[in-house]
């Protein structure tokens, strides 16, 4: 059952104002964050913490990213361009995929844990997002059957960038992934023909990027 909290719209508005104070400037991203009811994606007992700026457990040793990280990642990818055809790796509970669907033309979200993907489907069903597709798949392999993608965003951290993901970028495409071990940073990869330009961004902390499906 979807958790209910009083004044959820007001709580979202406060969250968006906090994001502005933290430096998020992209109005399209802020509007998307204001639209999606984050409390519907967390466990019922944590609904009252849904709009705090913190990551929360969603079971199976996974977390829902803090609102600032979600907004910041999409803002980096959206800067001076449209997201277009977008692949999200690590759908988790479905929250970031829902936000992405309000910014991108179409979104493919993959998750390696079938039980978690089933939960994401349940969370997303009430929103009826026609441009969002979900699939259980190994994120390190991307989604070659639907490639190329204008945008790829990875919501799990690895020591290196899986080479197949770079090859699934469209010309002028962008890939954003947390890279590192004890310390992770967001790595933006921009494709220009066969050249891949790298730019490092914010320090973050994500669950590991693992292979296979369960």
What CA–CA distances, in Å, run from 103 to 18, 32, 34, 124? 20, 7, 12, 16
Q: How far is CA 127 from CA 37, 60, 72, 139, in A?
A: 9, 24, 23, 24
Convert the pLDDT of each residue in 87-102 to its tens digit: 999 999 999 999 999 9
Q: Which CATH class is domain 8-204?
A: alpha beta
Lowest-confidence segment of 44-48, 103-107, 136-140 by average pLDDT:
44-48
Query: Mean of the pLDDT values across residues 54-74?
Result: 93
With 50 as the cut, is the pLDDT of residue 195 above it?
yes
pTM of the model: 0.94
Give the mean model confidence (pLDDT) for residues 21-35.
98
Q: What are the pLDDT digits (tens) for 147-182?
A: 999 999 999 998 999 989 999 999 999 999 999 988
Catalytically active residues are 65
User: Domain map of the chain by residue range?
Assistant: 8-204
Q: What is the mean pLDDT of the chain?
A: 94
């Amino acid at each position: 059952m979807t958790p209910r909290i009083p004044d959820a719209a007001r709580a979202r508005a406060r969250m968006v104002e906090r994001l502005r104070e933290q430096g998020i400037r992209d109005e399209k991203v802020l509007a998307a964050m204001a639209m999606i009811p984050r409390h519907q994606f967390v466990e019922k007992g944590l609904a009252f913490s849904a709009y705090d700026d913190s990551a929360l457990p969603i079971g199976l040793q996974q977390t829902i990213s803090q609102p600032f990280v979600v907004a910041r990642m999409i803002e980096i990818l959206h800067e001076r361009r449209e997201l277009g055809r977008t692949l999200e790796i690590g759908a988790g509970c479905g929250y970031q995929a829902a936000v992405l669907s309000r910014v991108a033309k179409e979104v493919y979200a993959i998750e390696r844990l079938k039980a978690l993907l089933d939960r994401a489907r349940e969370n997303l069903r009430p929103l009826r997002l026609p441009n969002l597709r979900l699939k259980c798949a190994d994120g390190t392999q991307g989604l070659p059957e639907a490639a190329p993608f204008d945008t790829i965003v990875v919501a799990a951290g690895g020591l290196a960038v899986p080479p197949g993901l770079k090859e699934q970028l469209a010309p002028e495409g962008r890939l954003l992934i947390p890279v590192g071990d004890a310390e992770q940073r967001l790595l933006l990869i921009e494709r220009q023909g066969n050249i891949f330009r790298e730019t490092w961004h914010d320090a973050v902390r994500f669950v590991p990027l693992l292979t296979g499906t369960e």
